[in-house]
Structures are given as structure tokens and as C-alpha cells.
């Protein structure tokens, strides 16, 4: 494979820094490798945090008086980083229905609800709205909110000041706005040689990611501070790690590292492409996954720095992969299906950015190597992967 010229290298670097928003997204559609078919872990995390979100909604301020009438009150809910599929639609529907019940029960009228689904322009909004259209055909449970899609990065302003009442971000904030520029500098100590991610990477690489994560979260909170009305809710669910773990230890334990789709098997798949002569070393080392698992301390520090929010609840929890016992037992006895399932999960989360880096043909070659690696390592079948998440509920002061 021919090596790129310096001009092409510069363009490649720009793609991963300022241009990442053009292709960072979950895999669209409704096929086996789509996010809609491979979002069990986010669904488990949402189920885990559902009681916290519902408790916040039941105790939040209502934004209308009984004598104002229903048409003078419009309640606005947004899912920031909505992706596609059932998770976002179910969450927004739950929020709207819970608020609706409160308004009817406490104020005696039903306000109008506006629901905004927001993600990067590369998100498959068409699939999302097709799913919504399917829900509309259910006459027994009609949709009770108006809908709009809002394309754009949540690290910038998306809405007018003080207009949002409930803002949720579910399993999205661990994705960074860009790969730190210094990580893409081949001549620097932050060049992430031989790794696709930062778990176990050199200290300089991890520190660069940490700085980018801090900048991104600061920007996210500043924007929401402007957009959320006083008394409104900001609810965040993001990949995370406990305070006791250093940033370089993103996953926490050897079994999670062995089975996590971003770690060992991913690095092996890239190495396979290199060993087979399908890519060169610079192409392998130039791919970096733009994700960072923050600690609760990092999140709390950012919120205190921003001001304007009162933290109601903050928790760290661990979620077991394949929470469905029956499915877990089936995969243990079928390594081929296990490898295919893991490869589809990788396609769903990393497919678009891998394809942007090496093109559709080599992208498929990579996922095939990944599937083969996982299927052939029978020791993985008995290992357990845990995903750490941080749940934050805050009120706009």
C-alpha cells in the first residue's frame, strides 16, 4: 500500500480533528450491523438509570399555572446524541408521559410537548423518523408530542436561551468532539503506536485525551447552561470509570479489557491487516477511537467550574454485558455466533469512522478479522465484560 504524501497526511489529520463531526455516528439502517440492532448495552444502562430520571421528573418544577390554559404552555424535551432506534424513542416517550401525568394530575390540564432529537448531521435521521412513523400507527398508544430533528454537535449551542425544560444525553458524552491533534503527530511522544484506543496507552496519549475530554465537557455544560430554563433538568448518562482508576485504565479489569470491542481484539484485527500487507503501519497507528471514560471526580469538577447547576444525584454503576442470562448461555456454547455478535457490535459503533479511515472494502476486511479473532479465542466465552457508566441528574439554578 502506498504511503501518503505530507499533504495527504495533513488532510488526514484535519479529518480527525476539525472534521470528525462529518462522519462520527452510529451505524444507521436496520440491518444486522446497525446500531438499532446492536444497542443492548445502552438499553441496559438506560433501564438502570430509569428510576433516577423518573424521580427527577416527579419532583421538578412545573412550568405553568392552572389558570394559564394548555395552549400558553409548551414543554420542550431534547435527547442530545439520540442516534437511532428504540432507546431514544422510548426514553423521550417516557419523559413526556411522566410530565403529562403530572400536569393533568396537579394542574388539571395537558400542555403541548415538543420533542427534539439531536445528533451530528451524519446520524441516520431517516431511520429514526421511520421508526417514529411506525409508532404513530399504534392507535392504542398515540404519540403525544410534536417532533423535530436538530442536527449539530452538542458541544456547541443548539437552542435559544432558556427554552429547554428537560435535556437528556444517554450514552453519548463519552464520545469526544475530535481526536487530540498531538495524538496524530507521528513525530511526537503522543503518537499512539500499535493501539486503536487509550486503555493501557502511554501516559502522554492518555493525558492528551483527558485534556480534550475536559474541554469538551466544559463546552457541553456551558451550552446547556444557556439553553435550559431555570428549574429544568439536565440528565446525563455516559461511559465512565470509578475515581479509584487512573485515566489510562479505562476498563478496570483484565476480563473486560479482553472482551471490550475497543481493546485487545480490535488491536489484533488491525495488526492482522498490517501483517497481511493490506495496510501500512502509519495507517494502523493513525486510527484512534474518539472515546474517553471520565471519572465522577472529573464530571463533578466540570459542573462546579461551569456553575448554574445543582447536582441532585451522581452515581457510578457497572453493567454486565449480555444481561439476558439465556442469551449469555447460548453464546457460551457457540463461539461462531459470539464472534459474529461482537463484530456486529463493532460495526454498529465504529463502522462509519473505520470506513472514513480506510474505505468500505478494507473496513469490511477489518471487521472480518475482528470476528475471526473473537470466534477463535474460546477463552473469551467464559470471560465477563463490564461497562462502567456515570449517571448525573442536575437542576438548572
pLDDT tens track for 314-359: 999 998 876 555 555 666 677 788 888 888 888 888 988 999 899 9
Tens digits of residue pLDDT in 71-115 = 568 999 999 999 887 889 989 999 999 999 999 999 999 999 999
Residue 144 lies in a domain: yes
Residue 262 lies in a domain: no
Residue 299 lies in a domain: yes
Residue 377 lies in a domain: no
- The span from the CA of 370 to the CA of 359, in Å, is 16
Residue 340 lies in a domain: no
Residue 116 lies in a domain: yes
Which pLDDT value is given to residue 2?
A: 36
For the chain, the 3-state helix, strand and coil shares in percent, each to the nearest 5, are 50, 15, 35
Q: How many domains does the chain have?
A: 1
Which pLDDT value is given to residue 7?
A: 43
CB 257 within 8 A of CB 251: yes
- The span from the CA of 204 to the CA of 225, in Å, is 32
Pick the range with the lowest mean pLDDT from 41-50, 70-79, 149-158, 363-372: 41-50
- The span from the CA of 111 to the CA of 166, in Å, is 14
CB 222 within 8 A of CB 172: no
- The span from the CA of 324 to the CA of 115, in Å, is 31
**Phi-psi domain of 64 (left: phi exceeds 0; alpha: psi -120 through 50; beta: other):** beta
Helices (H), 1-103: 6-16, 40-59, 86-102
**Residue 298 reports pLDDT greater than 80:** yes
Query: Which residues in 248-265 are b (16+ Cβ under 10 Å) and which e?
Result: bbbbbeebbbbbbbbbbb
Residue range of the domain that includes 81: 31-64+71-256+289-324+384-396
Using the structure block, give the residue that is written with the C-alpha cell 497526511. 9
**Residue 214 reports pLDDT greater than 50:** yes
Which pLDDT value is given to residue 5?
A: 38
CATH number for position 93: 3.40.50.150
- The span from the CA of 167 to the CA of 252, in Å, is 30
Cβ within 8 Å of residue 338, ≥6 positions away: 331, 332, 374, 375, 380, 381
Burial class (CB in 10 A: 0-12, 13-18, 19+), 140: exposed
CB 386 within 8 A of CB 320: yes
Residue 18 lies in a domain: no
Residue 53 lies in a domain: yes
Question: Phi/psi of residue 232, each to 5°?
Answer: -75, 170
> If you average pLDDT over each of 30-39, 199-208, 258-267, 334-343, which comes out highest?
199-208
Instruction: Cell numbers for 215, please give them.
Output: 474541554
Expressed in angstroms, the distance from the first to the final Cα of the chain is 56
Tens digits of residue pLDDT in 155-188 = 999 999 999 999 999 989 999 999 999 998 988 9
Residue 194's alpha-carbon distances to 127, 179, 201, 268, 269, in angstroms, are 36, 16, 9, 9, 11
Tens digits of residue pLDDT in 114-139 = 999 999 998 889 888 888 876 666 65
Amino acid at each position: 500500500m502506498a504511503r501518503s504524501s505530507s499533504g495527504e497526511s495533513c488532510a488526514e489529520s484535519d479529518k480527525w480533528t476539525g472534521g470528525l463531526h462529518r462522519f462520527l455516528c452510529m451505524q444507521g439502517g436496520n440491518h444486522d450491523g446497525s446500531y438499532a440492532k446492536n444497542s443492548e448495552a445502552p438499553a441496559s444502562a438506560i433501564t438502570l438509570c430509569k428510576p433516577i430520571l423518573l424521580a427527577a421528573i416527579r419532583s421538578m418544577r412545573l412550568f405553568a399555572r392552572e389558570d394559564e390554559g394548555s395552549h400558553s404552555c409548551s414543554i420542550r424535551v431534547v435527547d442530545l446524541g439520540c442516534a437511532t432506534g428504540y432507546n431514544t424513542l422510548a426514553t423521550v416517550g417516557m419523559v413526556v408521559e411522566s410530565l403529562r401525568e403530572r400536569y393533568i394530575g396537579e394542574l388539571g390540564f395537558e400542555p403541548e410537548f415538543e420533542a427534539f432529537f439531536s445528533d451530528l448531521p451524519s446520524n441516520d435521521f431517516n431511520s429514526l423518523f421511520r421508526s417514529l412513523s411506525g409508532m404513530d400507527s399504534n392507535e392504542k398508544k398515540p404519540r403525544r408530542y410534536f417532533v423535530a430533528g436538530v442536527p449539530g454537535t452538542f458541544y456547541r449551542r443548539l437552542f435559544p436561551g432558556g427554552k429547554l425544560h428537560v435535556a437528556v444525553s444517554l450514552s453519548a458524552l463519552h464520545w469526544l468532539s475530535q481526536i487530540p491533534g498531538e495524538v496524530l503527530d507521528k513525530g511526537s511522544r503522543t503518537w499512539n503506536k500499535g493501539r486503536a484506543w487509550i486503555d493501557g496507552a502511554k501516559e502522554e496519549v492518555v493525558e492528551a485525551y483527558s485534556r480534550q475530554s475536559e474541554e469538551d465537557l466544559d463546552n457541553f455544560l456551558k451550552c446547556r447552561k444557556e439553553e435550559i430554563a431555570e428549574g429544568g433538568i439536565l440528565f446525563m448518562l455516559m461511559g465512565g470509570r470509578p475515581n479509584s482508576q487512573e485515566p489510562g485504565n479505562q476498563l478496570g479489569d483484565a476480563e473486560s479489557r479482553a472482551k471490550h470491542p475497543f481493546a485487545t481484539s480490535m488491536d489484533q484485527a488491525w495488526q492482522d491487516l498490517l501483517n497481511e500487507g493490506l495496510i501500512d503501519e502509519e495507517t494502523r497507528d493513525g486510527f484512534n477511537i474518539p472515546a474517553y471514560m471520565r471519572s465522577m471526580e472529573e464530571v463533578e469538577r466540570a459542573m462546579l467550574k461551569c456553575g448554574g447547576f445543582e447536582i441532585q444525584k451522581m452515581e457510578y454503576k457497572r453493567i454486565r454485558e449480555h444481561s439476558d442470562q439465556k442469551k449469555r448461555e447460548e453464546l457460551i456454547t457457540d463461539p461462531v455466533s459470539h464472534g459474529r455478535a461482537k463484530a456486529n457490535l463493532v460495526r454498529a459503533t465504529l463502522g462509519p469512522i473505520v470506513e472514513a479511515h480506510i474505505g468500505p472494502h478494507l473496513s469490511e476486511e477489518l471487521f472480518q478479522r475482528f470476528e475471526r479473532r473473537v470466534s477463535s479465542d474460546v477463552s473469551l466465552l467464559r470471560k465477563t465484560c463490564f461497562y462502567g457508566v456515570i449517571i448525573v441528574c442536575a437542576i438548572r439554578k
